[in-house]
Structure 1
């Protein structure tokens, strides 16, 4: 295999990798979007109702939310907190903290893929550009002055690899930032619920 052919195969491999990365990114974004939507559906009125129930001191009424909204993260958390509230405030606090960590891990699943793709896609594209520039200079050295048009065309194709890398990375980073912000909101709301349940137990005590 000649040097020029080897470089050409490497360039092709870079574009294949970018194509696979883009398909993987779309799949992860769609899957995570479905998970976030399912777990936060109806939260605009479920969350205030749970808080109101906790402030009334009626922790026994919390399980009704998970029955009506079994996929809602706040309803699940309320059910869990109600179920373990008999163990006392200190025990419940530790259990709720563990539950919040478990929910966070569930939401963060596969987000590391987006983070990795967003951080590395531009470098993969840049690697393709480097291969293209190497090929351009090789042709320049081989063909001499007659290689001007070929070299310019090769360089333009090489720069396309960087453009593709950025085209993959930018939307992936935006999607990852969106999911990260949503997760922070969910985590903050769970912490609010945790404090409400603990305060309810304190009033009872």
Structure 2
């Protein structure tokens, strides 16, 4: 007994939904991977360069360096450098605000990945239940065929469950991976903010 996957796709509404979900998953995973790859920064090398600019009193050069280095960490550091003459509590609040803005950018589409991971198995299960109901209905309508007819219908129905899992598993894995990337970047922003405040204390004294 063989299963015609294309025929199942054509005849099953739930399989069409899962196909759309798989395409959305692929698109959002590629977009998020490119985004996190683009904003990744070696914070040790980056902060070493910022330290050198501050020690030399070259604050505008440090700001330009942040502009040329894409990422959440450079954005937070740039905010601190531009507003370095503010009182420390005000400066901290501004950098926290920038950090929150960057978190919003990092969280983009992650809720969609999480939703796809949660609903795909349920959609597949729904398709399986509908397929089983249809198989027994066909058996009752034909009045013949016995277990072989039911088995064929159930095997096709179970394809929906398998398809749902094929969408859900990578969605959950990617969601967890990108969430980890976001948490790591948030920690990096916090670390660099604290380091910058210490650097600015000495840098402003030398500048003055």
In 1: Cα distance, 2:167 partner to 2:58 partner:
48
Distance 1:58 1:167, change over 3 A: farther
Q: How does 1:38-117 map to 2 (within 5 A)?
A: 38-41=38-41, 45-50=45-50, 52-53=51-52, 60=59, 62-69=62-69, 71-117=70-116
What is the TM-score with the length of structure 1 in the denominator? 0.84
Residues 103, 182 of structure 2: 8 Å contact kept? yes
Distance 1:197 1:129, change over 3 A: same
Residues 14, 124 of structure 2: 8 Å contact kept? yes
User: How large is the RMSD of aligned CA atoms in angstroms?
Assistant: 2.6
How far residue 113 of structure 1 moved from its aligned partner, in angstroms, is: 0.8
Which segment drifts farther, 189-198 or 154-163? 189-198
Residues 140, 147 of structure 1: 8 Å contact kept? yes
DSSP 3-state at the match of 1:25: helix
What is the TM-score with the length of structure 2 in the denominator? 0.83
In 2: Cα distance, 1:197 partner to 1:43 partner:
12
**Alignment gaps of 5+ in structure 2:** 1-7
In 1: Cα distance, 2:197 partner to 2:41 partner:
25
DSSP 3-state at the match of 2:85: helix
Q: How does 1:132-147 map to 2 (within 5 A)?
A: 132-147=131-146
Question: Number of residues paired by the alignment?
Answer: 196
Residues 14, 125 of structure 1: 8 Å contact kept? yes
**Alignment gaps of 5+ in structure 1:** 1-7
